[in-house]
Each structure stands twice: as C-alpha cells, then as structure tokens.
Amino acid sequence: MAEEKEVKTFKELGLRDELVEACENVGWKTPSKIQAEAIPHALEGKDLIGLAQTGSGKTGAFALPILQALLEIAENQRTVPAFFACVLSPTRELAIQISEQFEALGSGISLRCAVLVGGVDMMQQTLALGKRPHIVVATPGRLMDHLTNTKGFSLGTLKYLVLDEADRLLNDDFEKSLDEILNVIPRMRQTYLFSATMTKKVKKLQRACLKNPVKIEAASKYSTVDTLKQQYRFVPAKYKDCYLVYILTEVSASSTMVFTRTCDATRLLALMLRNLGQRAIPISGHMSQSKRLGALNKFKAGECNILICTDVASRGLDIPSVDMVINYDIPTNSKVRIISIEWEERLVQGELVLQSH
C-alpha cells in the first residue's frame, strides 16, 4: 500500500491563495493537527465535531473554511453576504479572541465582525449590527437579547453556525438561549461543534443540530506535556495562604495562574499578595468586561505575573505561556479539574501544584 502523503501546507488543504497568504501574514507556517484534519472535510461541505482544546488552533479550523465560503460566494454573486456565520462562545473573552482571529485572517478581504457579549452597552452593538457584519461572534444570552429586541436584526441568512466550547455552552445559564437560537436560525446550514470534552449533553446537541458530522480529535484526552511536573501539597486549611505565598516566592516562575473556587477569593488573594509585594491581579465574573480585559492584558503583557482567577479565565483564553498553575481550591466537580488540566497543556517547563486541605 502506498504510504499516505502527509499534508504540509495550507494550500494542500484546499485553501485559496488569499487565505494561504492570510495564514502567512498572521505567522502560521503549517496547519495544526485539527486544522489539517478538519479543513478538507469542512471545505467539502460537511458538518464537523472537533474534540479540541484551546491552543490546538481550533479557531483557524472553523474560521478558514467559513472565510473560503464567503470568498467563493462573493466571487459568484459579486456581493459579500451579511450575517453569513455565527459563532457562539461561552465567555466574553473567548468571543473577543475569536473575532480578533477572524479579523486578522480576513483583513485582506475587508471582513466585518460584530461581537455581541454581555457587560457591554447594547446600543454600541446595535450600531455594529447596523453595519451588516459578515460574522457575528456572541455569547448566547446577549445574542438572544439582540434577536428579540434589536429592530431589523435576524439570522435568517445564516449559512454557518459554530458552537465553540460546546460543553460549556450547555450549562444551565445558556441552555435556554441556545435552544431559542437554534429555533430561529435556518436549518439549511453548516454546523461546526467544538468541545474539549464529549459529555452526554454534547452528544445530545450533536444529534439535534448536526447532519452526518465528521468527528475529529485533536489531542488525546486530557494529556499533559512530558516536561510537566505535577505536585500536590496537603496542608492545614488555616495555613493555606501562607503555603501559597511560600510557593509563589520559592518557585521561580515568571508567570503563574492561581485558580480559586469563588470570585471573592480571587479579590482577597490578589489584595493579600499585592500587600506582600507580588504583582498579582484578579479576574472573575464579578468584574466589568473592561476590567476583565484590562486584567488579562496586564497578565499577557507581563505587567502582572500572577493571575488569580475563577473558571471564567480557565478556558479558551489565549495566553501564550504559563509557567505554573496552582489550584488553590480543589475543584468541586471533576469537570472543573479538567478545565485546569487544559492549562497543563499550555505549560512549557511548568510545574503544577495542586493544593489540598
């Protein structure tokens, strides 16, 4: 049997020259595994289920085929259709990141994106919708808000729906909005569903809204990098803060994420660490959107080197490298533990400290 030729370039995946060039411009030299496997099926018009996590390149895996379809339609019809694709994300930060990747890849073709997320003025978003964007990236609640209240806005022309981080889109907060959205968008469409984990609810959603999907798995489930060191400290509850400070000062990590269970704990720990001279910053669902983005940017830029977060910051965020992850609280359910494990994949030479009490 002839040996299968390994696909090496974006061009070989079937992407048009404009998009190959766009990938080069954003610094992507070769397709990631999920891109190499997903893009050819997507270009054939198939629905997709991608089991992939942040860092796998999954955004490119769904954005590039959508952009290619837009380009082809624009060429045939000489107009670029508005409200062509909608991407649903469970968090505001992830939605903004997805839109940034679309805009970067679509910069050569004058792509317009609108981000519809909570915590931001509805009016501003209504104005963005008035510009008839090609791509809408949204959290489910705010999208439903606009579909109900923004005059003239509908997704009746939608051709592509992406459900990103589907496992998290299916929690109680979003399930109702998601059902409502699925009821008002066209059934004739392509659907891509990406999820880090395959839960019962994701399987149900897949049956409800995908047609003969191709399943692609990007990484072995919950694997960790070889160089990762994992440790736990079993300490008395009343000395937990003390141990945390000890670890933060003793381990020479240039960037650390500390996961806590509650929003209050993020604030208290950040205050304590700042008083002790550490460059810590909290991020949680209790903060305004602009503060959340500000905190994230300070951490990414290295201005602060300790990010104290609840699970709002744990998934889908594109933080290039983290040296150490500390689970300050044992997550109450195993799924949250999985969330933290994703960070292990991002660690280069990292050290994970699981602290118990």
Interface with ligand AMP (CB under 6 A): 28, 31-32, 35, 54-60, 318
Return the amino acid letter for 60: G
Closer residue to ligand AMP, CB minimum distance, 31 or 282: 31
For 211, the token pair is: 């047609």
First-last CA distance in the chain: 57
How open is the CA angle 330-336-341, to the nearest 5 degrees? 90
- Which region, left, alpha or beta, applies to residue 8 given φ > 0 means left and ψ of -120 to 50 means alpha? alpha
**Nearest to ligand AMP of 54, 195 (CB atom):** 54
Q: Which is nearer to ligand AMP, 20 or 80 (CB)?
A: 20
- Report in angstroms how near the CB of residue 122 gets to ligand AMP at its nearest: 27
Cβ distance to ligand AMP smaller for residue 31 or 133: 31
State which residue, 135 or 247, has the beta carbon closest to ligand AMP.
Answer: 135
CB 54 within 8 A of CB 315: yes
Provide, rounded to whole angstroms, the least separation between the CB of residue 126 and ligand AMP.
Answer: 28
If the CB atoms of residues 100 and 145 are measured against ligand AMP, the closer one turns out to be 100
What distance in Å separates the CA atoms of residue 284 and residue 58, rounded to the nearest whole number? 25
Q: How far is the CB of 273 from ligand AMP (least distance, A)?
A: 28
DSSP three-state, residue 86: strand
Strand, coil or helix: what is 324? strand
Give whichever of 28 and 243 is closer to ligand AMP, judged by the CB atom: 28
Q: Which CB, 20 or 74, lies closer to ligand AMP?
A: 20
Specify the DSSP element, H or E, that contains 72. helix 58-77
The secondary structure of 152-203 as a DSSP string is: T---TT--EEEETTHHHHTSHHHHHHHHHHHHHS-SSSEEEEEESS--HHHH
CA distance 344 to 184: 39
Q: Tell me how far, at minimum, the Cβ of 19 lies from ligand AMP, in Å.
A: 12
CA 34, CA 51: separation in Å to the nearest integer? Answer: 9
In the complex, least distance from residue 12 CB atom to ligand AMP, rounded to whole angstroms? 13
CB of 151 to ligand AMP, least distance (A): 34
CB 58, min distance to ligand AMP, A: 5
Nearest distance, CB of residue 55 and ligand AMP, angstroms: 5
Which residues make Cβ contacts (< 8 Å) with residue 294, sequence separation at least 6?
none
Paired residues of 230 in beta bridges:
352
